[in-house]
Amino acid sequence: MIEQLSVALLGANGRMGAEAVKAIDAAADLTLVAALGRNDSLESLVSSGAQIVVDLTVPESTEANVRFAVEHGMHAVVGTTGWDAGRLARLEELLADRPGVGVLIAPNFALGSVLASAFAAKASKYFESVEIIELHHPDKVDAPSGTAVRTAQLISAERTAAGVPSSPDATTTELEGARGSDVEGVRVHSVRLSGLVAHQEVLLGGPGEQLTIRHDSFDRASFMPGVLLGIRNVAAHPGLTVGLDGYLDLGL
Ligand SMILES: NC(=O)C1=CN([C@@H]2O[C@H](COP(=O)(O)OP(=O)(O)OC[C@H]3O[C@@H](n4cnc5c(N)ncnc54)[C@H](OP(=O)(O)O)[C@@H]3O)[C@@H](O)[C@H]2O)C=CC1
Ligand SMILES: O=C(O)C1=N[C@H](C(=O)O)C[C@H](O)C1
């Protein structure tokens, strides 16, 4: 008899949620005990007996959802975007009073994407210039993507620690938005195009050369191994973990 983990899913009717229902149903060690949509009460999480709550909803609701889970002693695996520094700080404060509870905030569950961001951050201190282009389906509500924000933060931390100056840029006049958004000193350009799922390129430039690190999710199935990895490991990682790389041994 395989030991079962009881999982509740928030956002079950969405694009990611529908894929996650299939992935959890197909996993022999996981039991889906609740699958909630926008109009369902969070109270049913308590009666469902869920040990782990997976949040794949919308930026407006994710913080309240996770707060509810943590306050009721449930671990949370979160793929929803919108976790800025203020939200993360409030969550850490909440978790400090509940030392046994784990929360994973994963900007991207695709293992290739996690690796691409880590590789880009490592490479970035060896190049004068770095910019990010993220490309997504046109139904996406947030820009830039959570993945691009996270990648820019990793790059910025790596370059700052190594004392690398800002990417050179002589722009003095600009049509608003032409140079993208500035995320911790890294320019991020957002494309929304019919036919796409989720894609990102990190462009690294130096005298006479360019390195491009690209990742493509062609299908939301790409996110499911990471979702399952998060569910299976969150209880063993109490406190807050940002990025699936926190559960991997990347050795970088
Ligand atoms: N970490 C990762 O690897 C990935 C993360 N994402 C992120 O996940 C999130 C969801 O993406 P996606 O599935 O494409 O978006 P969708 O809009 O397809 O799905 C979101 C779903 O959440 C539902 N919802 C909204 N509020 C609540 C609530 N309070 N409780 C329960 N359900 C709610 C919506 O219901 P309704 O339809 O009624 O509005 C909708 O069905 C986004 O933030 C996206 O950026 C996406 C892909 C990968
Ligand atoms: O909305 C999406 O689709 C995605 N959202 C996440 C993000 O904003 O980075 C992850 C992935 O890029 C797909």
146 is in an annotated binding site: yes
Predicted pLDDT of residue 251: 81
Q: Select from 134, 131, 126 the least CA-distant residue to 182.
A: 131
Do 120 and 211 lie in one domain? The reply is: yes
Atom 38 in ligand 1: which residue has the minimum CA distance? 38
Do 148 and 85 lie in one domain? The reply is: no
Predicted pLDDT of residue 1: 83
3-state class of 192 per DSSP? strand
Domain assignment of residue 252, yes or no:
no
Q: What is the ipTM of this complex?
A: 0.99
Do 49 and 127 lie in one domain? The reply is: no
136 lines ligand 2 (CB under 6 A): yes
Domain CATH for 85: 3.40.50.720
Domain assignment of residue 173, yes or no:
yes
Predicted pLDDT of residue 89: 98
190 lines ligand 2 (CB under 6 A): no
- For ligand 2, the distance from its centroid to the CA atom of residue 163, given in whole angstroms, is 31
Whether 136 is a known active-site residue: answer: yes
Do 140 and 92 lie in one domain? The reply is: no
180 lines ligand 1 (CB under 6 A): no
Do 124 and 171 lie in one domain? The reply is: yes
In 141-160, which positions are buried (b, 16+ CB within 10 angstroms) versus exposed (e)?
eebbbbbbbbbbbbbbebbe
Domain assignment of residue 67, yes or no:
yes
Do 147 and 229 lie in one domain? The reply is: no
Q: Under a CB-based contact definition with an 8 Å cutoff, are residues 6 and 46 in contact?
A: no
Domain count for the chain: 2
Low-confidence ranges of the chain (pLDDT < 70): none
C-alpha span between 69 and 75 (Å, rounded):
7
Predicted pLDDT of residue 56: 98
Ligand nearest to the CA of 8: 1
Do 100 and 118 lie in one domain? The reply is: no
Atom 8 in ligand 1: which residue has the minimum CA distance? 80
pLDDT of 75-109, one tens digit each?
999 999 999 999 999 999 999 999 999 999 999 99
- For ligand 2, the distance from its centroid to the CA atom of residue 94, given in whole angstroms, is 26
Do 117 and 192 lie in one domain? The reply is: yes
222 lines ligand 2 (CB under 6 A): no
Do 116 and 210 lie in one domain? The reply is: yes
Domain assignment of residue 230, yes or no:
yes
Domain assignment of residue 65, yes or no:
yes
83 lines ligand 1 (CB under 6 A): no
Do 84 and 126 lie in one domain? The reply is: no
Domain assignment of residue 151, yes or no:
yes
Give the containing element (helix H, strand E) for 52: strand 52-55
C-alpha span between 160 and 12 (Å, rounded):
40
Whether 140 is a known active-site residue: answer: yes
Atom 7 in ligand 1: which residue has the minimum CA distance? 80
Domain CATH for 147: 3.30.360.10
Closest ligand 2 atom, residue 16 Cα = 3
pLDDT of 210-245, one tens digit each?
999 999 999 999 999 999 999 999 999 999 999 999
Q: Which structural domain range is residue 17 located in?
A: 5-105+221-247
Both structure tokens of 173: 């006049």
Closest ligand 2 atom, residue 141 Cα = 1
Do 115 and 214 lie in one domain? The reply is: yes
Do 142 and 169 lie in one domain? The reply is: yes
Domain assignment of residue 116, yes or no:
yes
